[in-house]
Amino acid sequence: MEPFRVIEGLVAPLDRTNVDTDQIVPKQFLKRVGRTGYGEVLFHDWRYHADGTPNAEFVLNKPMYRDAVILVTGRNFGCGSSREHAPWALRDYGFRAIIAPSFADIFRNNCLRNGLLPVELPEDQVTRIMKHALSDPGYSVRVDLEQMLVSDLLGLHASFEVDPFWRRCLLEGLDEIGLTLRHESAITEYESRRPPWLPKVSLGE
């Protein structure tokens, strides 16, 4: 997993509350195998018309936001079902961080497991970022996980909290597999002492 330390870049504003995971990735796309390719169907039903043509009014289809790496949105983002495809799609599209007043708990944990940082800020600070992103072309912010700080060139300095365990995982680029492989020598040594009639597992396979 790619380490997350500091991200600075364009902000895309999704000025909606209670965005659920079925809106992030509609159910008809959940049959795909693997974690890649979901970026093209992110927010599919808002992003495209029924005939498949892009909806020019949707934020991600506007030229000024197409290279955004940070999404700012309303409270209770990621509610609904627990599908992990939602952070897969956001990450595959190119987002590295999401700023909102609140997140659904399961969605937040799924983001952290997949290298996507959910940043929870007070509503007034989110509103401030949203207003700039909507009105100022090229508006960008800096999300610093090392300092746990969101800032911009207009005087914003907003601190946030992240669980220490997940903060370390993001800073070091460790997913659950990476954490397990840190103990590879101990696992291999344990497997070497198991009775020969028991199955053995090789981490290299």
- How confident is the model at residue 203, as a pLDDT? 55
Count of residues making up the chain: 205
- Stretch among 49-53, 129-133, 183-187, 191-195 having the lowest mean pLDDT: 183-187
Mean pLDDT on 108-133: 97
User: CA 106, 128, 95, 149: dihedral to nearest 10 degrees?
Assistant: -80
CA distances from 179 to 57, 146, 190 (A): 43, 20, 17
Contact criterion met (CB below 8 Å) for 13 and 138: no
Residues 20, 26: Cα–Cα separation, whole Å: 10
Q: 52 phi and psi, to 5 degrees?
A: 90, -5
CA distances from 149 to 82, 152, 154, 161, 171 (A): 28, 10, 14, 9, 14
Query: 191 pLDDT exceeds 80?
Result: no
Residues 82, 106: Cα–Cα separation, whole Å: 6
Mean pLDDT on 134-152: 96
Residues 43, 16: Cα–Cα separation, whole Å: 12
Write the DSSP string, 96-109.
-EEEES-B-HHHHH
Q: How confident is the model at residue 198 (pLDDT cuts 50, 70, 90)?
A: confident
Q: How confident is the model at residue 194 (pLDDT cuts 50, 70, 90)?
A: confident
Predicted TM-score (pTM) of the model is: 0.86
CATH 3.20.19.10 domain position(s) in the chain: 6-174
- How confident is the model at residue 202, as a pLDDT? 61
- How confident is the model at residue 178, as a pLDDT? 57
Tens of pLDDT, residues 10-64: 999 999 999 999 999 999 998 877 778 899 999 999 999 999 999 999 999 999 9
pLDDT, greater one: 196 or 154: 154
- How confident is the model at residue 184, as a pLDDT? 58
Q: How confident is the model at residue 189 (pLDDT cuts 50, 70, 90)?
A: low
Write the DSSP string, 66-130.
TT--EEEE-SSBTBSS--THHHHHHHHHT--EEEES-B-HHHHHHHHHTT-EEEE--HHHHHHHH
- How confident is the model at residue 179, as a pLDDT? 58
Tens of pLDDT, residues 60-87: 999 999 899 999 999 999 999 888 999 9
Mean pLDDT on 136-165: 96
Domain 6-174 falls under CATH 3.20.19.10: yes
What angle separates helix 85-93 from helix 105-113, to the nearest 10 degrees? 50
